[in-house]
Amino acid sequence: MSEMAKNLILWVIIAAVLLSIFQNFKEGPTPPTMSYTNFVDEVQNDRVRSVIIGGQIIEGEHHDGTRFRTVRPDVLDTGMMKDLLNHSVNVEGREPEKSSIWMQLLMAAFPILLILFIFMFFMRQMQGGAGGGRGGPMSFGKSKAKLLSEDQIKTTFADVAGVDEAKEDVGELVEFLSDPSKFQSLGGRIPRGVLLSGPPGTGKTLLAKAIAGEARVPFFSISGSDFVEMFVGVGASRVRDMFEQAKKQAPCIIFIDEIDAVGRTRGGGYGGGNDEREQTLNQLLVEMDGFEGNDGVIVIAASNRPDVLDQALMRPGRFDRQIYVGLPDIRGREQILKVHVRKVPLDESVDLHVIARGTPGFSGADLANLINEAALFAARSNRRLVTTEEFEKARDKVMMGAERRSMVMSEVEKTNTAYHEAGHAIVGRLTPEHDPIHKVSIIPRGRALGVTQFLPEEDQYSMSKRKLTSQLCSLYGGRIAEELIHGLDGVTTGASNDIERASQLARSMVTRWGLTEKMGPILYGDEESAMPGQGGKNFSGATSQLIDEEVRLIIDDSYARSTTLLKENIDILHAMKDALMEFETIDAEQVDDLMERRAVRPPRDWHDSDFDHSSGGTGASSDADVEAEVSKTDVDKPDAPIGDPVEGS
């Protein structure tokens, strides 16, 4: 019997009981009441025609037709009947009312029924109320999965952009859920599970919703952390309950977000084999591929760390498909932008392709945030349309932090920052294969005193040794500019972040990427894949010394090249400093003027209809094979305590 039917029957019974009680106590209009003394006077004065005596209640009628009512005192009164008869009063007796056997039983059982009803009410409240028994203190073993019916899911593949390959991989699931006979006739079976992996914000949850929306099937959504409780066995009970609900709704989809919270490799020293998390994982393994079949139930899981999942969970039969949802390329970013700007009024000057080129490494969530920030900037300026200027401000805010124009900088410090950023820009402009300059600014942003932004012209998936060396040269350009202007004693701590990034980059060139002849293409230490507490060093002390020497050689060579370039173009260094002091921010076109020793043109007018959207050298980069990706923005900040996060794009 359904929960709604049970509730209906309960309320019908309650209504019947209340109606019977009201009917039993229903009475007509009550006549006026007089005292017993007045009643005796009325009788003795021959004003009473008749009376009806029922227990202690006496109802009567005067000779003029008016009715009255009185209560006889609870004392022995033997003279009342004699007076009534002597004064010719018609006396009648009222038979005591007797309730039916059913009413007697009801009245006797009413206290018990009331206590039972109160007990049932509180038990239902403790189990989570009338909405299915979820979330109450007595529902430890109940699944916390949220069920969305096919009518509640409005997301389709049209709302998912930038992941075309992933959409193709999951397209068969939609066909199978819509028409399973097409595949079953050839001996195919529906996949039991699909694992979506990839960086945060790439649209894994959105893609799972789109699958359910396209297939028009129920959708159960739950997080991996919702299974695990402090009580052993609760997680396993929730897994069983969730699959029991799913079987009743089949065909359907179960979506488990952040499955690594419960699906990590067993036996990792987290309480042996009897802890709550491992029992939950064991139950999940049994439900996905045990003795009982789960036909029509597809499990879709999402994780940012598939490498930590248990191998038994990853095998075919449980997760038959593993789909990587990566960061979108330039074409994917443009598609994502088109989806998110549907409800945003754009100015004609906005070119989404240019914005896509200028957002390297942005995920779908980052792009949505970018559009929202641009809309907020436009609203603050009381504009009805979002222009290119707002998108530029939003991108700078997302990548480099908000402007701190209220920060007071002395003229000396501002001049030093201008020389520092000019050094980055000039070296980056003159070294081979370096990404083009997009913007140079001495406006403080976040923790940075100034920024030099480089953006590639097209997507990049690897970097050559020549390009990496150019990156090293430009990183040291700011410090060298300070040294040339103020001498070694005048160098500030503003290059601390540059030195840190350059050191990491040079060491990776030696130990991970095999870009030196002496050390060769050998991996020296794999700290990321090492087990906790074991470290990643797998080479001798002599090898460590050679690595240090090679790193120092690369850095010294890059430092010397940067010094030579800046000395040969010291006039440009001074001119760029002057331009930054005047305009605070210069773009690629103004940098070109300075490099060609021409007069610097005024800042770009973003609202000019003749603006060339193809200029500026904006672009995108993913550098997928370079795990320690070099930031495309040189962010210079004051020296900070060790352990502070490194800022960058």
Q: What is the pLDDT of residues 336-359, one digit of tens each?
A: 888 888 888 888 888 888 888 878
Gyration radius from the chain CA atoms: 42
Indicate the SS3 state at residue 629.
coil
Q: Are strands 193-197 and 321-324 parallel, antiparallel or unpaired?
A: parallel
Provide mean pLDDT across the span 412-440. 87
Query: How far, in Å, CA of 430 to CA of 172, rounded?
Result: 51
**What predicted TM-score, i.e. pTM, was given to this entire model?**
0.62
Indicate the range of 99-103, 185-189, 366-370, 392-396 predicted with least confidence: 99-103
Local confidence band at 435 (pLDDT 50, 70, 90 cut-offs): confident
Residues 6+ apart with CB under 8 A from 353: 334
pLDDT for the residue numbered 331: 85
Q: Assess contact for 295 and 250: CB atoms under 8 A.
A: yes
Q: How far apart are CA 422 and CA 572, in angstroms?
A: 9
Q: Which helix (DSSP H) or strand (DSSP E) does residue 633 occupy?
A: strand 633-636
Q: 460: which 2 tokens?
A: 């990049």
Summarised one tens digit per residue, pLDDT across range 614-625 is 333 333 333 333
Helix (H, G, I), strand (E, B) or coil at 386: strand
> What is the per-residue DSSP string for 229-256?
-SSTTHHHHHHHHHHHHHHHH-SEEEEE
Taking a C-beta distance cutoff of 8 angstroms, is the pair 31, 43 a contact? Answer: no
User: pLDDT grade, residue 628 (50/70/90)?
Assistant: very low
The pLDDT of residue 541 is above 80: yes
Q: What is the mean pLDDT of residues 80-85?
A: 82
Of the residues 278, 287, 392, 421, only one is catalytic, namely: 421
Quick: pLDDT tens for 226-256: 666 555 556 777 777 778 877 787 777 888 8
* First-last CA distance in the chain: 59
The 3-state DSSP class for residue 414 equals helix
pLDDT tens-digit map of 20-38: 665 555 455 678 888 888 8
Residue 125 predicted with pLDDT over 60 = no
pLDDT of residue 264: 80
Average pLDDT of the residues of the chain: 76
Pair 480, 562: CB distance under 8 Å: yes
For residue 294, what pLDDT is reported? 61
Active site annotation includes 27 = no
